[in-house]
Amino acid sequence: MAEGKENAGREPVLIVKDVTARFGDNVLFEKVGFQVRRGEIFAIAGESGCGKSTLLKIMIGLLKPASGTVWMEGVNVTGAGEEQMRRIRSGMGVLFQSGALFGSMTLGENVALPLREYTDLPAPWIDRVVRAKLAMVNLGGLEDRYPAELSGGMQKRAGLARAMALDPGILFFDEPFSGLDPVTSAELEVLIRRIRSAVGSTMIMVSHDLPSLFNLADRIILLDRGARGILAEGDPREMKRDAVDGRVARFLHRAVPDEKPEEVGK
Ligand SMILES: Nc1ncnc2c1ncn2[C@@H]1O[C@H](COP(=O)(O)OP(=O)(O)OP(=O)(O)O)[C@@H](O)[C@H]1O
Ligand SMILES: [Mg+2]
C-alpha cells in the first residue's frame, strides 16, 4: 500500500467540479471532477496532448475553464479576483513543465523570487531561507551558480527549491521527471518523498512517466483524449491489477514494477 495513504487526511484541499477545457472548437475534456486530500501525492496521468498541463493551469488559476469550478483550501480559484489570487498563490508552489528557472539569474536569485514577491522579509532573512531551501534539495553552497552551469537533474531540484520557498501547503509539479535519466529520476523521487514526509505538503503531479507514478502516487486519475475526460481513478497499483477497460490496461501495463521500491538513501 502506498505509504502516504494512512497519513493522508480525508479532508479535501482541492476540489475540481465539472470542469470543461476548450480552445476554440477543440474540447480537451468535459465535466471533469475529482478531489485531492490533504497530505496525499495525487497524479494526473495520460498520453501527450490529453490536457494534463491545461488542467494544472486551471487548478492553479492561470487559465479559466470554459465551465466548472476549482476550490483550493475552500477558496474558489476559478472565480477569484486579483487580490484573492495573490493570497492563493502565496500558499502554493509550482514546478512548471518548461522554463523552470530564469537563466539570467543565479540559483539563489531564482529561489529568492517568490520570497521577494510575496513576503516583506529583510534581505538577510531571504538569504537564509534561500540557503536552507537549496540545502534541502542537496544544492547547498551553489547559490551563485547559473542554471546553465547545472545538469538537468540539478535544475529540476533548484526548481523544486524555488517551489518550496514559501513553505507551501500544496505543491504542483508538471512533468518533474521529463528529460531525466532513470537514475536521476529515482534520486528526484526519493527527494520528493522525503519532502512529503518532512513537510507533509499535499503534492499534485502531472506525469506520463509510469515508473514515477507507481513509485510516488497515492492516487491517480487517467485523462484520455478520446473519452474527453477521466477514464479511471484510484491507487495506480490496484488500477493496474483490476483494469477492465482496454485503454486503462494499455496505459498502465507499458513497463512498470509491480511493487513500490523500498525507500533508499534516507
Ligand atoms: N493556449 C493554447 N491554445 C490553443 N491550444 C492549446 C493551448 N494550450 C494547449 N493547447 C492544446 O491543447 C491540447 C492539450 O495540451 P496540454 O499541454 O494540456 O497537453 P498535455 O497532456 O500536458 O501534453 P504533454 O504530455 O505533451 O505535456 C494540445 O492539443 C494543445 O495543442
Ligand atoms: Mg503537459
pTM recorded for the entire structure: 0.89
Which residues does residue 127 pair with via DSSP β-bridges, in sequence order? none
Cβ contact 2:235 at 8 Å: yes
The finding on whether 28 has its CB within 6 A of some atom of ligand 1 is yes
Nine cell digits for residue 174: 508538471
Q: Counting Cβ atoms within 10 Å, is residue 111 exposed (0-12), middle (13-18) or buried (19+)?
A: buried
Atom of ligand 1 nearest to the CA of 48: 25
| Residue of 52, 58, 173, 221 best suited for mutating to test ligand 1, as the one with most atoms within 8 Å of CB | 52
pLDDT in tens, 35-46: 999 999 999 999
Q: What are the residues whose beta carbons fall under 8 Å from the beta carbon of 79, sequence distance 6 or more?
A: 69
pLDDT tens-digit series, residues 131-181: 999 999 999 999 999 999 999 889 999 999 999 999 999 999 999 998 888
Question: From the CB of 51, is ligand 1 less than 6 Å away?
Answer: yes
CA pair distance 237, 232, nearest whole angstrom: 12
Supply the residue whose CA is at minimum distance from atom 5 of ligand 1: 23
Cell numbers 484520455 correspond to 224
